[in-house]
Amino acid sequence: MLCRLCHSDCGSPLLDFPSPSIVSTTAILDAPTTAYVCPSCGHIQKPDFAEVDAFYDQSYRISLDSGDHDQLYAVVNGQPVYRTQFQAELATRLLDIGSRMAVLDYGCGKAATLERIRQNIPGITPAVFDISSSYKAHWDRWIAPGDQAMYRVPPEWSGRFDRVMAHFVLEHATDPRDVFSEIGRVLAPGGKAFVTVPDVFGNPGDLLVIDHVNHFTPASLSRAATESGLALESLSDGDYRGAYVAIFVKGEAKACPTGTGNIQAIAEDWRASRARIIAHADAHAGADVEIYGAGFYGAFIAMLVKDRQRVLHFLDRNPFLQGTTLFGIPVRNPDDVLGRPAHDAPRTLYAGLNPAVAATVMDGWCTQSGRDPLSIIYI
């Protein structure tokens, strides 16, 4: 396929896994996962969805089912920190959002982050745009009708905004250059944009999320923005776990980051992990198993365990996931299975966690639960 940023031929796939695949909402899709890397600019990408418009409009209703649902970002001193609050504080700080600013949340979904910012800074003028009409009822509670846009950004919004945020939008975009072009168009001169995208090098599972059709490197993200008159002011892989946070200023670009990460090594790790989990699950078919983690990594493991009714439960620290089901399997609080007699525990526990943190989390769990560390299978 051709690179979405520079139109070079990407050649043969970086990664090509047969069906099934996994969607960012942890649904399983009957489709292969194929990824490419551009030999010219280093951008990593997947083919478009066949019916991408329908998919986003009808199906991609993240966090809509419950008004209180939020994703867990971290547990600090035993207390959960949720994504909305974390994003709101980060964007406010990095964008220096002040009273009387016009702030657009581009590709916003429910716009929970912007709503939180407005609670903290009531003087801002909030505006929202999404390629779906699913969220209108949420917006109507607190956003003026003229400050809402669906499907297309109004022509009269050109140069209107002091600040634009695009939280985890560009990884879904079939034309990321067009998104940057629109952001550049609606920003006032000197206005700033806050952009987050997954960092596939910090969170390698992102390479397997089939609806994340772009995986940016700092160089490819900056390149895509520069063409739209947006200069990179800062880019960090440390402000937001598993993501790049970039601040762009409307104006002439100076130096851009260069270099590509070692995506080939990540693809090779996934080939090995996938084969190892399938081999282990097949060799222990019929035995009960547990999966620690009900997010992407846990879902990925469950997808590979053919005998899925043998998965007793997922264990997850996120209180909003506890009590729900994933693929019909209950999600439980890890503390609920403490004190269970050792002979009563399944022999196998899969660690469905980001490999970067999995060993630390599972070491803590083994100490707490008395589990044999040798019973844990890592990705």
Q: Which is nearer to Zn ion, 227 or 335 (CB)?
A: 227
CB under 5 A: which stretch of 30-38, 91-99, 111-119, 207-215 binds Zn ion? 30-38
Could you tell me the two tokens for 324? 């729900």
Least distance (Å) from Zn ion to the CB of residue 217? 10
Between 8 and 120, CB nearer to Zn ion: 8
- Residues binding Zn ion: what is the number (CB under 5 A)? 8
Query: Shortest distance, CB of residue 215 to Zn ion, whole angstroms?
Result: 12
Provide, rounded to whole angstroms, the least separation between the CB of residue 5 and Zn ion: 5
3: contact with Zn ion by CB under 5 A:
yes
Under rule CB under 5 A, residue 38 binds Zn ion: yes
Contacts of 78 (CB under 8 A, 6+ apart): none
DSSP state of 344: G
Pairwise CA distance, residues 318 & 298, whole Å? 13
Kindly state the smallest distance separating residue 69's Cβ from Zn ion, in Å: 37
CA–CA distance, 56 with 132 (Å, rounded to integer)? 7
DSSP for 95-119 reads HT--TT-EEEEET-TT-HHHHHHHH
Q: Does residue 135 sit in helix, strand or coil?
A: coil
81 CB contacts (<8 Å, ≥6 apart)? 72, 73, 74, 75
Instruction: Based on the shown chain and the rule CB under 5 A, indicate whether residue 40 belongs to the binding site for Zn ion.
Output: yes
Closer CB to Zn ion, 222 or 354, in the complex: 222
Pick from 1, 6, 27, 256 the residue near Zn ion by CB under 5 A.
6
- Residue window 143-182: x/- pattern of binding to Zn ion, with contact defined by CB under 5 A: ----------------------------------------
**Residue 221 lies near Zn ion (rule: CB under 5 A):** no
Q: How far is the CB of 176 from Zn ion (least distance, A)?
A: 11
CA distance 270 to 46: 16
Using CB under 5 A as the binding rule, whether residue 35 contacts Zn ion is answered as no
Identify which range of 7-15, 71-79, 154-162, 293-301 contacts Zn ion by CB under 5 A. 7-15
Region from 31-39, 85-93, 175-183, 308-316 binding Zn ion, contact rule CB under 5 A: 31-39
Min CB(7)–Zn ion separation in Å:
7
94 vs 87, 90, 253, CA distance in Å?
Answer: 10, 6, 19
41 sits near Zn ion (criterion: CB under 5 A): yes
Examine residue 235 and tell whether it contacts Zn ion (CB under 5 A). no
Could you tell me the smallest distance in angstroms from the CB atom of residue 201 to Zn ion?
A: 18
Token pair, residue 352, equals 């469905």
DSSP for residue 128: E
Q: Is 219 in the site for Zn ion (CB under 5 A)?
A: no
- Mark 342-351 as b/e (b = at least 16 C-beta within 10 Å): eeebeebbbb
Cβ closest to Zn ion, residue 220 vs residue 273 = 220
What are the strands of the beta sheet with 311-315, ordered from one edge? Answer: 325-326, 329-332, 311-315, 289-292, 348-351, 376-378
Please, which residue, 3 or 331, has the CB nearer to Zn ion?
3
Query: Can you tell me whether residue 68 is helix, strand or coil?
Result: coil
Q: How far is the CB of 231 from Zn ion (least distance, A)?
A: 20
Cα dihedral sign for 223, 224, 226, 231? negative
Angle 83-95/112-120 helices, nearest 10 degrees? 60
Q: Which of 15, 33, 36, 43 binds Zn ion (CB under 5 A)?
A: 43
Query: Based on CB atoms, which residue is closest to Zn ion, 62 or 256?
Result: 256
What sign has the CA pseudo-torsion 89, 213, 175, 151?
Answer: negative
Longest pairwise C-alpha distance within the chain: 68
Binding-site ranges for Zn ion (CB under 5 A): 3, 5-6, 8, 38, 40-41, 43
